[in-house]
Structure 1
Amino acid sequence: MSQAPVGLIILDGWGVRGEASFNAPALARTPHFDAMMERFPTARLAASGVDVGLPEGQIGNSEVGHLNIGSGRVVMQTLPRITAAFARGEAAENRAILDFVAEAKAGTGRVHLLGLLSPGGVHAHQDHLGQLARLLSGHGLDVRVHAFTDGRDVPPTTLPDDLQAFRRAYPGVKIASLQGRYWAMDRDQRWERTGRAFAALCRGEGEAVADLDAAIAAAHVGGTSDEFLYPMITNDFVAMEDGDALACFNFRADRVRQILNALLLPDFDSFDVSARPRFASALGMTAYSDALAAHMHVAFAPQPLPDTLGQVLAAAGLQQTRLAETEKYPHVTFFFNGGIEAPNPGERRILVPSPKVATYDLQPEMSAPEVGDRLIETILDPGNQVFICNFANPDMVGHTGDLDAAIAACEAVDQQLGRAIDAVMQRGGSMLVTADHGNCETMWDTTTDGPHTAHTTNLVPLALVGPAGAGGTGPEAEQGRTLRDGRLADLAPTLLDLLGLSKPAAMTGESLL
């Protein structure tokens, strides 16, 4: 077994697109990435749709990408599981939902249903909202929706169209409050944002609007996109009271944890939550965290994923390091480990704080230099055999829709990639460099004729760096290995192949060597 380091670098949101226009990686000065793709074996990976367990044509995302990478198999995602459960009538017989209904009825009979009103399908889907609201109302419950608005996984100002489509499909659903995901779905411990969302939900603090559509239109005219809409309180708002019930229809965990922690966890102390009620019951579409699962019914529990890459490395006695800045830390830990929060034996975790700026176009380098410093230390550490590192910049800055900032983000990451390549070569190690999904390679939306802020269905790059990866067009070409195209699920088996470890039967991905 090789004692030289073997690793994986994930350039989050760095996809492949042939055209250079509005393509941040293509327009950026990236000498290290370009040389890597020229010198070493390369391939392309599918990172969306059925190749990652999503519906055909559905854009990939970081949670899904890291889950597929870390588990070494195509994982059926919660989005199609929930969609199928409603379509087949299984949701109406779901034990967790029925228990929640019984407890809600024993309380006030009012349900506060919150989540992302969006057809994007990354964190939630508005059809799930409508179907769950209809199901709960059918049991005689008074359902009040607290909608978070998107503008990030869908174009920036499509809320009017999405809201109109939702109302047509699900007439009569009461929207009590509405606010941008910037406030309600923070995941970076920016508690002033979560606190504003909490105040709107619990106390009705926000702009009182008699005409929601007019208020949204006015915000758009004023330059505020859907992601950043300030809380709006409608005529259907009723303050949360003791005995009410709380339900969340998001199926992705990372961006609802903070607001749910504030609403539900007894020991929450990041800001004053004395206004929150004692809920009769709480329901989540999935398990958002171990702590929250103790206080919520879970409608669609995560599927067990045995023999993830982290578990296989631990069983082999290898020391592994997971490294990312705050924005992507859950992805290289919780999601990469198949939804398990506890680290594996021998698994070290390094968290670098993300910068405290309003939006990352203001600091496109984010914390890449600090992540790079810790990465080099890890690669050069003889006591560490495997490293998994995520650079968040291409995705997080890509979401802002600012092309110049996205170019700067790619250039900042390229500098750190060059350092990592040098360190790996110095140690005689090997590493795979790839992405989890596309984003910043498409920064203009030709449909809306405006900035593109969402993920894409494009393929992502793959390169095998190091002596084991010799075989590009460089002088080592006749000595090294080659890569074939594949999908994200093939990365873990490929890493195990580089380490000389056997792939467990549960990993259905294949080595790309």
Structure 2
Amino acid sequence: MHTKRPVVLLIRDGWGIGDGGKGDAVAAARTPHFKHLLETYPHCTIDASGEPVGVRAGAQGSSEVGHLNMGAGRIVMQEIVRVDQMIRSGELFETPLVKAALENCRKNDSALHLMGLVQDQGVHAVQDHLHAFLGWAAENGLKKVYVHFYSDGRDTPPQSALTYLERLENKMAELGVGRVASVMGRYYAMDRGQNYDRTQKAYDALMQGAGLRAKSAREAIEQAYERAKTQQGGDVPPETDEFIQPTMIEDDCGDCCGMIRPGDSVIHTNFRQDRAIQLAQAFVEPDFKEFDRGPVPEVFFAGLTRYYDEFTQAIIPPMNMANLLGKVLADHGLWQLRISEYQKYRHVTSFFNGKLVAPYPKEDRVLVESISIPENQKPEMSVYEVTDLVLEAVTGSIDSLRSKAQNTEKTTLSVEENSVDGGDRLKKGYDFIAINFANCDMVGHTGDFDAVVKAVEAVDECVEKVCDAVLAVDGIVMVTADHGNAEQMIDPATGGIQTAHTTSPVHFFWVANDADSCNLVDHGKLSDIAVTILELMQLPVPEEMTAASLLKPCEM
């Protein structure tokens, strides 16, 4: 038995609870509907960072972490914590692929390459893990060890790379092993937007020594900062850390000191999947066609985690995730819609489903194309286009939404193969809709305060439209966020621009015509949302879901 009322989960990505200070773009924005929600509907705060979402204590949240927890109904122990534990126990270096990488170097008298994002925020990678691999290399007597340094500037301050480089160089000096062989911004090495021209620049630098040159990693970073002073408005983004062009470090003879060569071993140290996929595919996929790579490189390649379903070179296998929210809804024959623009599409689909790529039965997916210019140049991004389709899904039917999506420019509809023909049921609406509005996070990452204010205002306007439509059909909207960003655009420690996620809690609103009959707990966590949805829909909560409901006992 389940309620026939449509249930909508609306995720305002990157909208956290701030302090109202001068760096709080949410407080600076005109948000009449947000104020209406605060004044009218039950709401509580929920944790979106640290141990309540399965990351290190005090660590910021992320879209991947947030959506995993929301869909799982349990705290999902993140890979960063699993890697921490495996390093402490020594288990990581006894895994088959790590041992194979070592054996390959010994057999071929070849180099070990460690490539990945160098940061301490723990969003995609963490510097401690890189240091641990360097320690393992030293203990095993490897001499030719090269680090390919992906600079951040998105989850870290825009010009903080020298700080991380100094830590790395100090560790290498302490261990007596390792040398930085290249420096490149994550914009190139970690693109996830199918901008394969960027991926190719990273790949060609690593494999062919293409790109810029510098005498040292420090020089590479300093030269980038100097170039940034004259790059405003040009074809190349100003080279803060995120955008440093791939730069190879020369040896004393002017050659690339650590270009990847046949027979070498390569370990990618990012644990988060989405921004490691494109470059990993270039290294391992035999039918790779996104750019002219040539044949598969004759190297041993391994990634810290399973970057995509077909990736067989994962050092740590994924956790076994059974009975997630989407699975429970599918098992009860309910119809679902997941919708977002491209930048957050994987989060509201795959990550929400425990990183499964394929949809569940009766799960439709709508992908709206994202803008191709920097987000701060168009803060509304594609939120209005997403909203128009959501309104059709709420006020129309499954059939009408499918038709509108198929006939809307720059929109892709994916229908699970067994759900194409749903008979008369397609004339009715969806039982559950999950929406992600990406603006507050994506524009927040640019550090452009005025643009973030506009992004917040656009999201607030669209939240109002969705809530009004759902209330008109007597449905229920749960408005929340996966993590914070827009509410803290100034780094409290330095006073400089902050582009990273935050550790702020987020709101959870219960928006319904009969909302006054329900009470919420004072505080919860993201994983409580799945349990709350099942309780609302009067569906059994599986034993694997160990989270709690955000609802206090009430009469529905």
Deviation at 1:108, TM superposition (A): 5.3
Deviation at 1:138, TM superposition (A): 3.7
| Superposition map of 1:270-309 within 5 A | 270-274=290-294, 277-279=297-299, 281-293=300-312, 296=313, 298-309=314-325
Code of the aligned partner of 1:30: T
Deviations 1:419-447 (A, max 9, x none): 10011011111021100111110001132
| Superposition map of 1:459-498 within 5 A | 459-468=505-514, 470-471=515-516, 479-498=517-536
**Identity within the alignment, %:** 41
Q: How far apart, CA to CA, are the structure 2 residues paired with 1:71 and 1:50?
A: 15
SS in 1 for 2:366: strand
Partner residue, 1:458: 504
Partner residue, 1:361: 376
Change in 2 beyond 3 A, CA 1:464/1:415? same
| Superposition map of 1:424-443 within 5 A | 424-443=470-489
Deviations 1:300-325 (A, max 9, x none): 21111111001111111101111111
Q: Which range moves more in the overlay, 204-213 or 54-63?
A: 204-213
If the length of structure 1 is used for normalisation, what is the TM-score? 0.94
SS in 2 for 1:81: helix
Find out whether 1:333 has 2:352 as its counterpart: no
Partner residue, 2:425: none
Partner residue, 1:475: none
Q: How far apart, CA to CA, are the structure 1 residues paired with 2:225 and 2:245?
A: 11
Q: How far apart, CA to CA, are the structure 1 residues paired with 2:90 and 2:258?
A: 30
If the length of structure 2 is used for normalisation, what is the TM-score? 0.87
Deviations 1:349-394 (A, max 9, x none): 111111111x211111111111111211222222311011111110
SS in 2 for 1:445: coil
Question: 1:7, 1:430 within 8 Å by CA — same for their partners in 2?
Answer: yes
Question: 1:240, 1:276 within 8 Å by CA — same for their partners in 2?
Answer: no
Deviations 1:59-85 (A, max 9, x none): 111111111111011111111211222
Change in 2 beyond 3 A, CA 1:211/1:95? closer
Find out whether 1:312 has 2:314 as its counterpart: no
Q: How far apart, CA to CA, are the structure 2 residues paired with 1:104 and 1:319?
A: 51
Question: 1:256, 1:288 within 8 Å by CA — same for their partners in 2?
Answer: yes
Question: 2:104, 2:263 within 8 Å by CA — same for their partners in 1?
Answer: no
SS in 1 for 2:359: coil
SS in 2 for 1:8: strand
User: Pick from 407, 413, 419: which aligns with 2:453?
Assistant: 407
| Superposition map of 1:199-348 within 5 A | 199-223=204-228, 224-235=239-250, 237-274=257-294, 277-279=297-299, 281-293=300-312, 296=313, 298-348=314-364
SS in 2 for 1:282: strand
Q: How far apart, CA to CA, are the structure 1 residues paired with 2:95 and 2:347?
A: 29
Partner residue, 2:81: 80
Q: How far apart, CA to CA, are the structure 2 residues paired with 1:284 and 1:211?
A: 26
User: Pick from 365, 378, 381: which aligns with 2:393?
Assistant: 378
Find out whether 1:198 has 2:203 as its counterpart: yes
Equivalent pairs, count: 500
Q: How far apart, CA to CA, are the structure 1 residues paired with 2:215 and 2:455?
A: 42
Deviations 1:328-353 (A, max 9, x none): 11111121111211211111111111
SS in 2 for 1:450: coil
Q: How far apart, CA to CA, are the structure 2 residues paired with 1:143 and 1:232?
A: 18
Give 4+ residue runs of structure 1 displaced > 4 Å after superposition: none
Question: 1:41, 1:483 within 8 Å by CA — same for their partners in 2?
Answer: no
Partner residue, 1:158: 160
User: Pick from 499, 509, 513: which aligns with 2:547?
Assistant: 509
Q: How far apart, CA to CA, are the structure 1 residues paired with 2:341 and 2:106?
A: 43
Question: 1:439, 1:456 within 8 Å by CA — same for their partners in 2?
Answer: yes
Question: 1:6, 1:387 within 8 Å by CA — same for their partners in 2?
Answer: yes
Code of the aligned partner of 1:225: T
Question: 2:101, 2:266 within 8 Å by CA — same for their partners in 1?
Answer: no
User: Pick from 164, 167, 170: which aligns with 1:168?
Assistant: 170
Deviation at 1:480, TM superposition (A): 4.2
Q: How far apart, CA to CA, are the structure 2 residues paired with 1:493 and 1:312?
A: 11
Unaligned 5+ runs, structure 1: 472-478
Code of the aligned partner of 1:284: G
User: Aligned Cα RMSD in Å?
Assistant: 1.6
Change in 2 beyond 3 A, CA 1:409/1:43? same
Question: 1:113, 1:246 within 8 Å by CA — same for their partners in 2?
Answer: yes
SS in 1 for 2:83: helix
Question: 2:12, 2:480 within 8 Å by CA — same for their partners in 1?
Answer: yes
Code of the aligned partner of 1:216: I
Change in 2 beyond 3 A, CA 1:105/1:467? farther
SS in 1 for 2:51: helix
SS in 1 for 2:181: strand
Deviation at 1:214, TM superposition (A): 2.8
Question: 1:78, 1:251 within 8 Å by CA — same for their partners in 2?
Answer: yes
Deviation at 1:241, TM superposition (A): 2.8
Partner residue, 2:10: 9
Deviations 1:453-477 (A, max 9, x none): 1111111011011224x22xxxxxx
Code of the aligned partner of 1:72: G
Question: 2:183, 2:220 within 8 Å by CA — same for their partners in 1?
Answer: no
Deviation at 1:483, TM superposition (A): 4.6
Q: How far apart, CA to CA, are the structure 1 residues paired with 2:139 and 2:518?
A: 64
User: Pick from 179, 182, 195: which aligns with 1:177?
Assistant: 182
Deviation at 1:140, TM superposition (A): 4.3
Q: How far apart, CA to CA, are the structure 1 residues paired with 2:193 and 2:222?
A: 29
Code of the aligned partner of 2:505: L
Deviation at 1:276, TM superposition (A): 5.6
Deviation at 1:251, TM superposition (A): 0.2
Q: How far apart, CA to CA, are the structure 2 residues paired with 1:429 and 1:45?
A: 23
Deviation at 1:409, TM superposition (A): 0.7
SS in 2 for 1:444: coil
Deviations 1:228-265 (A, max 9, x none): 11111102533333322221000000001011112221
Code of the aligned partner of 2:471: M
Change in 2 beyond 3 A, CA 1:36/1:454? same
Q: How far apart, CA to CA, are the structure 1 residues paired with 2:69 and 2:199?
A: 30
Deviation at 1:87, TM superposition (A): 2.2
Q: How far apart, CA to CA, are the structure 2 residues paired with 1:94 and 1:391?
A: 39
Deviation at 1:99, TM superposition (A): 2.8
Deviations 1:34-80 (A, max 9, x none): 21222111111011111111111111111111111110111111112
